A and B are shown apart, each in its own frame.
Chain A
Amino acid sequence: MTAPIKRTEGYAFAYLDEQTKRMIRRAILKAVAIPGHQVPFAARDMPMPYGWGTGGIQVTAAILGPADVLKVIDQGADDTTNAVSIRAFFQKTAGVAVTTRTAQASVIQTRHRIPEEPLKAGQTLVYQVPIPEPLRFLEPRETETRVMHALADYGLMHVKLYEDIATHGHIAKTYAYPVKVEGRYMMDPSPIPKFDNPKMHMSPALQLFGAGREKRIYALPPFTRVESLDFDDHPFERTKFEAPCALCGATDSYLDEVVIDDKGGRMFVCSDTDHCETRREEGHRGALLGTPAEETRP
C-alpha cells in the first residue's frame, strides 16, 4: 500500500466539484435501488478521453473518501499504462492511499476484469463501461431499447443466442456476455470475459458501472442474483484453459497468452497480476520458474 500524498490544490477533492458529485451520487443511489437498470446521468467532460474510463472515473470520484484505499486495474493488471494513469490521477486530486492488493483496497476501479480473489463486504468494484446497452448491437436506437427494457422484452437477444447455437453449436460470445439481474433487467457486464461472469453473482461487494460517453450508471448491490443468459440444453459455460499459469501454476485463474518468439512459442500467465504475485509469494511455482523443492520431494 502506498500512503496518501498531498493532493494538488486548485481543484475540488477527487477533481469533480461538489454539485457534480452530488448529481452522480443520486444517480448511483437510484441505480442501486433498481439493480441492472441504466440510469442516465449528466456525465462531464473529463481530463481523460472518452473511452479511457471517464464513466468509471466519475463514479470513483463521487464515492471516494479521504480514508479510502484505491486499486486500479486494466486487463487485470495494476501496471498497464491506463491503470497507472488513473491511479496517479486520484493520488494527485484526492490524495488517497493506493494499493495493488485486492484484499487491501476499499475501492477497485477496473477495466475488463474482476479480480480473482473473491471480494468482501465493504469493498466497491467500479467498472468502466464502453457501451452500457446489452441490446445495442441488435438495435442501434436508444428510443427502441429503452422500451424493450421497460417491457422486459428480451426476445431479440434470445433469438441471437439461439442463432449462434444453430450456426456454431454454441453461443459465440466470449466477453461482454449478457446477464439477467434479479430476474428482471438484462445487463451488459462491460467487456469482462465470460470467465468472470459468475463472480458477479451474489457478490458481497457493491458493484457500480459507469459509462461516461453514453452517460449511464448502473449497479449491482451486494448479494444480487446475476445469471448469465443460457438455455436449459445449452447451459452457460466458463472459459477453461488447458495449461496452468507458467509463473504461479494457478489452474483457476484467467490467463493471458504471451507470444515468446516468432516460431509459434506461446506461454500462459495470470491476467490478474496481484493474484499471480500473491501466489508466488506463498511459494507457488509455475513451469517457467521451476517447481519448488517441497513439492517435488517424494
Chain B
Amino acid sequence: MYVSVKGGEKAIRAAHRLLAHRRRGDRAVPEVAADQIREQLSLAVDRVMNEGSLHDRDLAALAIKQARGDLIEAAFLVRAYRTTLPRFGYSVPLDTGAMTIERRISATYKDLPGGQILGPTFDYTHRLIDFTLMADSETPLPERDTAASAPAMPRVTDLLDGEGLIEAEPPAAPDAEPGDLTRAPLRVPAARDLRLQQLARGDEGFLLALGYSTQRGYGSTHPFAGEIRIGEVEVEFEVPELGFAVPLGTVTVSECQMINQFAGSAEIEPSFSRGYGLAFGQVERKVMAMALVDRALRTEDLGGAVEHPAQDQEFVLSHADNVQATGFVEHLKLPHYVDFQAELALVREMRREHAAAHASREADTDPVFEEAAE
C-alpha cells in the first residue's frame, strides 16, 4: 500500500551526521586544523575572503574546513555570517601607493622607480609535481633584504598621469558616499564604485572567462598590465567623535592597473584609459581579470557601443555572484512535483492533439497521393 513519504526531519539529521563524517574522512589521518588552512592554503583563504566579502582569515579558514574544501560553499558560509554583523561605516580610501610591497611588476616599463619585485609567484616555476612535499619537509627561510629601508614605489599610472597620457581619475564628489550593494539593491546602469564592488565579490572563474573573452575579440580593450602590486596597506577609519582618521590595522591586497589603448572620441582626445582591479590577499588572477572586465564595462561611458557580453553591465553584474548562481542552479534539485504534474498533463494533452491532427491529415492526404500516382 502507498504510504506518503514522511520523516524529512529525521532524514535531514542523518544526512548532516553523515556529512560531518565525510568531512572528517579517515580517522587514522590527523584532522586538519583551521590554522593550518589559514597558513598553508592561504590562497584558498584569500579567495574565500573576497567572494565571501569579509576580511577575516581565521573565519575563512574555518569555513574552508567546514565546507570540505568547497570554496564557493565556504564563501557562502562567510556571507551568511557577514549578514549578522553590524556595518559601522566605510574606511578612508586605501593608499596603495604607500603599500609595503611584497610583489610589484610592470609589463609596460623595463625598469622604473622602485624596480620590479617578483615576490612569491608561481610565474617562473616549472609545473612539476614536487614529490618531496609528500613527506614532512624542511622549507628553508627566504633570504632577507639587508637594505635599511625600501625605496619609494610610485604607481605606474601616476607616472603616466604626469605626462597627461592616461585619462585622469575622475575626482570623487567631496561628500559622496561609496555605494554598497549589500545594503541597497543593485540597479543598472550602476556607477563604477558598485560595479567594482560586484566584481571584487564576483566569482573568479566567471571574471576570468569574461576577461579572456575580451582578449579573444569579444570586446577587445587592448590592455597592458601597467602594474600589479601586492602587499600590506594600512586601513584608516574616520571616527566622527574624534574628527580625524585612526588606523585600524593592515590588510594584504592585490592591485592591478591595466592600461588600455583608447583612440579617443568626438569629445575625448586620444589617451590611455584605465581598468582597475583590487581585492584582498594575493589574488593576482582575480584582479587582472577584474581590471579587464572593469575596462570593458566602461565601454558605454567612453562612448563605445555595447556589443559583447563583457561590456554588458546587466549581463555581467547580474551573473557574477557565485553564491547566488550556485543557489539558483542547485535549487533545481528541490522538489518541483507540483509544476511537473501540471506540465505532465499539458504534454499528454498536446500529444493527444498532435496524434489526432496527424491522423486527420493522413486521412485527408491519402487520396491525393493516389491521384498523383495515377
Contact = CB atoms under 8 A, between A and B. Distances in A.
Interface of A: 11-12, 15-17, 20, 40-47, 49-52, 54, 74-77, 79-85, 88, 111-113, 130, 141-143, 168-169, 172, 174-176, 191-195, 213, 215-216, 239, 246-247, 254-258, 260, 267, 269, 271, 273, 288
Contacts of B338: 75-76, 112-113, 175, 191-193, 254, 256, 271
A169 to B, nearest CB: 7
A237 to B, nearest CB: 11
A48 to B, nearest CB: 8
B76 interface: yes
Interface residues of B, number: 50
A288 B324 CA distance: 43
B235 to A, nearest CB: 23
Contact of A169 (B326, B337, B341, B353): B353
A141 B314 contact: yes
Interface of B: 1-2, 4-9, 11-12, 76, 79-80, 82-84, 86, 182-189, 314, 318, 323-324, 326-332, 334-339, 341-346, 350, 353
Contacts of B341: 193, 254-257, 271
Contact of B6 (A79, A141, A192): A79
A77 B323 CA distance: 27
A42 B331 contact: no
A45 B331 contact: no
A194 B184 CA distance: 33
A80 B335 contact: yes
Contacts, number: 147
Contacts of A269: 2, 4
A51 B4 contact: no
A147 B82 CA distance: 34
A227 to B, nearest CB: 19
B4 to A, nearest CB: 7
B35 to A, nearest CB: 24
Given A79-B6, A215-B185, A174 B339 contact: yes
B334 A82 contact: yes
A203 to B, nearest CB: 19
Contact of A45 (B8, B79, B335): B79
A75 B323 contact: no
Contacts of B83: 16, 20, 44-47
24 contacts: A20-B83, A45-B80, A45-B182, A46-B83, A49-B76, A49-B330, A74-B335, A80-B335, A82-B334, A85-B8, A88-B9, A111-B334, A174-B343, A174-B345, A175-B342, A191-B336, A213-B328, A215-B185, A239-B345, A256-B337, A256-B341, A260-B2, A271-B337, A273-B4
B334 A74 contact: yes
Contacts of B335: 74-75, 80, 82
Contacts of B1: 288
Contacts of B345: 174, 239
A51 B330 contact: yes
Contacts of B343: 174-175
Nearest to A174: B342
B79 A215 contact: no
Given A81-B12, A130-B331, A269-B4, A47 B342 contact: no
B2 A172 contact: no
B350 A45 contact: no
Given A172-B350, A174-B343, A193-B342, 14 more contacts: A45-B79, A45-B182, A46-B80, A52-B327, A75-B335, A75-B337, A112-B338, A142-B187, A142-B318, A143-B314, A169-B353, A174-B342, A191-B338, A247-B4
Contacts of B327: 49-52, 54, 213
A141 B86 CA distance: 33
Contacts of B79: 45
Contacts of B324: 50, 213
A176 B4 CA distance: 26
Contacts of A260: 2
Contact of B9 (A84, A216, A267): A84
